[in-house]
């Protein structure tokens, strides 16, 4: 019944911007932390950013800090990832996921539900 759907990926030139969306259904939105992960071919899935909905606290990996922002529209059960100053190394499939935890939110094992992913490609 729980479903997470990502959108907004695409092809962008280095230095450009994209905004990803994650729409959640089948859950009580305020009870969850929503995270973004990414995975490039041949690499492990890595944590990018998370937002605690009820606390409105945000967290970022060092690799994207200062370039990415995360926000939520709680009435729409939607989380956004605004990506600025994109680099070729940001190229990956981006996934959103839902966790019941407020700590260790960088650990993918703490997330219970996952979306299908959206491709982001940054050209040099």
Judged against a pLDDT cut of 90, whether residue 36 lies above it is answered with: yes
Q: What is the mean pLDDT of residues 109-123?
A: 97
pLDDT at 65: 98
Report the helix count and the strand count for the chain, using DSSP H and E.
0, 11
Q: What is the mean pLDDT of residues 1-29?
A: 95
- How does DSSP classify residue 40? -
Q: What is the mean pLDDT of residues 43-69?
A: 95
Cα–Cα distance measured from residue 55 to residue 83, given in angstroms and rounded to the nearest whole number: 22
Q: Please measure the distance between the N-terminal and C-terminal CA atoms of the chain and give it in whole angstroms.
A: 40
How does residue 54 score in pLDDT terms, banded at 50, 70 and 90?
Answer: confident
Neighbours of 123 (CB within 10 A): 11
pLDDT at 120: 98
Closest among 4, 1, 37, 48 to 23, alpha carbons compared: 4
pLDDT at 28: 83
Helix (H, G, I), strand (E, B) or coil at 108: helix
Q: What is the pLDDT of residues 70-85, one digit of tens each?
A: 999 999 999 999 999 9
Q: What is the pLDDT of residues 95-109, one digit of tens each?
A: 999 999 888 889 999
pLDDT at 9: 98
Cα–Cα distance measured from residue 62 to residue 51, given in angstroms and rounded to the nearest whole number: 15
């Amino acid at each position: 019944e729980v479903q997470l759907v990502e959108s907004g990926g695409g092809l962008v030139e280095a230095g450009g911007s994209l905004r990803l969306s994650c729409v959640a259904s089948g859950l009580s939105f305020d009870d969850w932390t929503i995270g973004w992960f990414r995975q490039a071919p041949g690499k492990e899935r890595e944590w990018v950013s998370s937002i605690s909905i009820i606390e409105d606290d945000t967290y970022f990996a060092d690799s994207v800090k200062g370039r990415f922002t995360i926000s939520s529209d709680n009435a729409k059960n939607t989380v956004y990832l605004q990506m600025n100053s994109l680099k070729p190394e940001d190229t990956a499939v981006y996934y959103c996921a839902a966790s019941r935890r407020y700590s260790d939110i960088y650990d993918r094992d703490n997330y219970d539900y996952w979306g299908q992913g959206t491709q982001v490609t940054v050209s040099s």
